[in-house]
Chains A and B, each alone.
Chain A
Amino acid sequence: AQSVTQLDSQVPVFEEAPVELRCNYSSSVSVYLFWYVQYPNQGLQLLLKYLSGSTLVKGINGFEAEFNKSQTSFHLRKPSVHISDTAEYFCAVSELQQGGSEKLVFGKGTKLTVNP
């Protein structure tokens, strides 16, 4: 079974500083990776996804992530964060289930807090 490890449970940064949220996954023949953001008491919003092709994926709100197969990582980055980026961020990998359907396996999440 797939597993996702988000190495940092909390990441505090100052406004306009760069940030990297780390994510590692268990290896697989093929993998599809996602980053989601969750604001308090809300559902999840897709930031970006990697399916194939270029290893550098650009998403919404200025975020990007790089797929590194050899290191089985998919770290999320933003060069300059805003107060409004304060939220919980989840890395996820798709996993095929018996019968051919698939499901998402989530990491434990990283709480990003942007301070003024």
Chain B
Amino acid sequence: GAVVSQHPSRVICKSGTSVKIECRSLDFQATTMFWYRQFPKQSLMLMATSNEGSKATYEQGVEKDKFLINHASLTLSTLTVTSAHPEDSSFYICSAKRQGGIYGYTFGSGTRLTVV
């Protein structure tokens, strides 16, 4: 099966610091990875779409300079929250689309970010 590993599962950081979240496809190559943000008791909000080797496409209202996305290989994408503030505290989830797959999206287990 398709497995996506997301790390860390939980992180607490101080205001002003940066945090990196990794998303790896373990047993398949992912042409496209997606990063979502989920507020408590709400749906997933797509932040950006990243394709391997190219710049990420950000959704309207998402700050590119704050949420840096790198998709350096077909199995790894990272989201870096720069200069984090308490309002960035949220649940972040990545999703990977299998190369050549037909509408196969696999989700990571999510990262709970708390900025204090």
Which residues of A approach B to under 8 Å, CB–CB?
32, 34, 36, 41-46, 49, 51, 90, 94, 97, 99, 101-109, 111
A3: min CB distance to chain B, Å: 12
Residue of B32, B93, B95, B105 with most chain A CB atoms under a 10 A cut-off: B105
> Top 3 A-B pairs ranked by shortest CB distance?
A43-B107, A44-B107, A43-B109
- Is there an interface contact between A41 and B112, defined as CB atoms closer than 8 Å? yes
- Is there an interface contact between B103 and A32, defined as CB atoms closer than 8 Å? yes
B15: min CB distance to chain A, Å: 23
A-B pair number, CB within 8 angstroms: 54
Partner of B93, one of A43, A97, A108: A43
- Is there an interface contact between A51 and B6, defined as CB atoms closer than 8 Å? no
Partner of A101, one of B44, B51, B95: B51
Q: Interface digits, B77-105 against A, CB 8 Å rule (1 contact, 0 not)?
A: 00000000000000101010000001101
Chain B residue at smallest Cβ distance from A91 = B43
B4: min CB distance to chain A, Å: 8
Besides A42-B110, A103-B46, A106-B44, 10 more A-B contacts (Cβ < 8 Å) are A34-B105, A42-B109, A43-B107, A43-B108, A46-B105, A46-B106, A51-B103, A101-B49, A102-B103, A103-B49
Q: How far is the CA of A113 from the CA of B44 in the complex (A)?
A: 20
Q: Which residues of A contact B103 (CB under 8 A)?
A: 32, 34, 49, 51, 94, 102
Chain A residue at smallest Cβ distance from B94 = A43
A32: min CB distance to chain B, Å: 5
Q: How far is the CA of A102 from the CA of B102 in the complex (A)?
A: 11
